[in-house]
Amino acid sequence: MTSSNHVRIVEVGARDGLQNEKTLLPADVKIALIDRLSSTGLQTIEATSFVSPKWVPQLADAAEVFRGIRKVPGVSYPVLVPNLQGYQRAREVGATDIAVFTAASEAFNRKNINASIDESIERFIPVIEQARADQVKVRGYVSTVLGCPYQGEVPVADVVRVARRMYELGCHEISLGDTIGVGTPAKARAMLHAVAQEVPMAALAVHFHDTYGQALANILTCLEEGVRVVDSSVSGTGGCPYAKGATGNVASEDVVYMLHGMGMSTGVDLDLLVATGAWLAAQLHKDTASRVTRARTAAA
């Protein structure tokens, strides 16, 4: 695993990206975005989120979007699910991959899902059980792994405890989220190393927001540590609406550019991804484009 040259990108732009954009995109534009992403060679594209539409109005059209997207064989389209109600909504439109989410910080969980860490885990135990019965794959997110907007420091031991619990409950993959992008490389490495003592590295992913421009450096140290699954967002859009100060995820174009430059494979066509990023930035009427997109646009 650690010596593998292949990195799987989990594209989260249509969910993590759009959930925090002020511009509300219509469902047909979201569908077009996901269809474009499907043609780039990405293997995993998080499509939307079946959370409460009162909490995240940007994704209130989750059912319409999920129904409308082209499901390319071999590509998985996970959706975020906070509770059984969300699971049922996701299943009604045929989702076969879901993601449940909690955090290593109590304070953030309260703001984000109105529950403590333990309550949130209790809430998704029946979701995981039902998913197992339905042969639905479950990914688990742990947020605030390198810092919390409300609590500040988050002890690594708390990250390890929550990640291990989610893995034991049956999540096939645990994504470690630096929700507000405060992490730096040495801290990212130490956190990943500690979690990997309890959860196999092959079941871990990293998820960096890029608030202070640290995401690529953090990803690099985590690759050196052995991780081979990286979450990123086309055009670097988004952030969490319930994490004060959170900016977009690291841009997928920048991650793919770095990985290919290091001789690693992703299966992603960078030109198609860059074109998709530029197209999305135009839909959002703002310059969220990645460094690669900006450089190519400037050179054209």
Q: Which residues are the active-site residues?
A: 240
Instruction: Please identify which residue in 50, 66, 77, 279 interacts with ligand HMG, judged by CB under 6 A.
Output: 50
Q: How far is the CB of 200 from ligand HMG (least distance, A)?
A: 20
As a whole number of Å, the end-to-end CA separation of the chain is 39
Pick 77 or 101: Cβ nearer ligand HMG: 101
Per CB under 6 A, contacts with ligand HMG among 245-274 are none
Q: How far is the CB of 191 from ligand HMG (least distance, A)?
A: 13
Per CB under 5 A, contacts with Mg ion among 15-54 are 16
Per CB under 6 A, contacts with ligand HMG among 191-210 are 207, 209
Report if residue 147 touches ligand HMG, rule: CB under 6 A: no
Instruction: Please identify which residue in 40, 143, 252, 288 interacts with ligand HMG, judged by CB under 6 A.
Output: 143
| Binds 113: which of ligand HMG, Mg ion, none (CB < 5-8 Å by kind) | ligand HMG
Report if residue 58 touches ligand HMG, rule: CB under 6 A: no
Instruction: Please identify which residue in 124, 141, 257, 279 interacts with ligand HMG, judged by CB under 6 A.
Output: 141
Six token digits for residue 102: 């909690």
* Part of the chain binding Mg ion (CB under 5 A), chosen from 9-17, 95-103, 183-191, 292-300: 9-17
| Binds 45: which of ligand HMG, Mg ion, none (CB < 5-8 Å by kind) | none
For residue 78, how far is the Cα from the chain centroid? 10
Residues near ligand HMG, by CB under 6 A = 16, 19, 49-56, 80, 82-83, 85-86, 89, 101, 112-114, 141, 143, 177, 179, 207, 209, 240, 242
